[in-house]
A and B are shown apart, each in its own frame.
Chain A
């Protein structure tokens, strides 16, 4: 894939994270009586079903954006064909692993996984 396609995805995921991340902060701060009360067991138990898809989307966007960002920083720090290939693969695997582990967490909260 050409580098401009990666960067277009970086832009789009960044814009998506801005919106969803702002919602995440706003919900934590305002929706349930403040930051401390939003994360009690009962509140999370009652509300996670509604937020499942929201968190999954945020997770997808973050997994791509962050690991692609790390890849850019690391390939600018040092060059070499072997090094760059290794960094690209490690970041891809890291992003995939983070996405899968986060999805597992979401599915547990949604009651799909036991």
Chain B
């Protein structure tokens, strides 16, 4: 209750001790065994072990940054947003592909955590991988709207119903983290395989009614190391942090390649709406 003096009363806070457990002081120490590789210094593959104090809510990324800050500044990691929207911190944690910023150490329920860089991509240094081939495969499936009748001066939207948007929306959530590419068993041995990310993005545009290049994309996908090297192991969808479900996209592409090839051929890109888009006047 505020008084005329303007003083704010101090209300004592009571928290359940269980809620406070692990916040003020560490719950325990966890041993991290981290993959190390530094070609610049001629160092081959080795593992370094660190003891990291874990609090409630400590993520693997927090632990790695603790290692970098307090124990071993030479450790190289890639991270950015710290909230699983950028896709930078993908790594293999105890044998599973996860985003380090989103993985809480306590939830792993292990005393020893092994951290490796993602599979199937060359390692630049320590936990940092080279995404060049990954991005090249992504580019190869024409991951943008392609149509022949684009008129940049037209200023009229394309017609698309909310249901048509739902058909491709979840695939547009891809943050290119590379976890699916690392988890895929075909990618484990097949260098030519496009990978789940590229094919999911191909489907994102094939399913988009505004696009007109379905035929071109299907030619790229319907190849020996394209769609048909996927055998629905589902690990890509299992590890995807954004629910893109690449396995779903790839099976839909297979349906289009076999059962619905005729439908795909007849498909025309969505027309423009009749009304010109209203521009917000400059102030």
B222 touches A2 (CB 8 A): yes
Given A4-B257, A7-B258, A8-B258, CB of A75 within 8 Å of CB of B228: no
Cα A11 to Cα B229 in complex, Å, equals: 14
User: Which of these, A3, A78, A84, contacts B228 with CB under 8 Å?
Assistant: A3
Cα A78 to Cα B186 in complex, Å, equals: 11
Number of interface residues of B (CB under 8 A): 18
B226 touches A3 (CB 8 A): yes
A72 touches B229 (CB 8 A): yes
Query: How far, in Å, is B185 (CB) from chain A's closest CB?
Result: 9
Given A3-B223, A3-B226, A4-B228, CB of A76 within 8 Å of CB of B190: yes
Cα A78 to Cα B254 in complex, Å, equals: 23
Q: Is B192 an interface residue (CB 8 A)?
A: yes
Q: List the A side residues contacting B224 at CB < 8 Å.
A: 3, 75, 84
Contact with B along A55-79 (1 / 0, CB 8 A): 0000000000000000010011111
B229 touches A76 (CB 8 A): yes
Q: Is B82 an interface residue (CB 8 A)?
A: no
Query: How far, in Å, is A6 (CB) from chain B's closest CB?
Result: 8
- A76 nearest CB neighbor, chain B only: B190
Query: How far, in Å, is B189 (CB) from chain A's closest CB?
Result: 6
Cα A84 to Cα B224 in complex, Å, equals: 10
Cα A98 to Cα B228 in complex, Å, equals: 25
B228 touches A76 (CB 8 A): no
Cα A4 to Cα B226 in complex, Å, equals: 10
B258 touches A78 (CB 8 A): no
B190 touches A7 (CB 8 A): no
Given A77-B189, A79-B192, CB of A7 within 8 Å of CB of B228: yes
Cα A6 to Cα B227 in complex, Å, equals: 12
Cα A89 to Cα B243 in complex, Å, equals: 41
Cα A74 to Cα B222 in complex, Å, equals: 19
Given A72-B229, A84-B224, CB of A4 within 8 Å of CB of B189: no
11 pairs of residues in contact across A and B, judged by CB atoms under 8 Å: A2-B222, A4-B254, A4-B261, A6-B228, A7-B228, A76-B186, A76-B190, A76-B229, A77-B190, A79-B190, A79-B225
A-B pairs, 10 with minimum CB distance = A4-B257, A3-B228, A76-B190, A4-B222, A79-B192, A7-B228, A3-B224, A77-B189, A8-B258, A2-B222
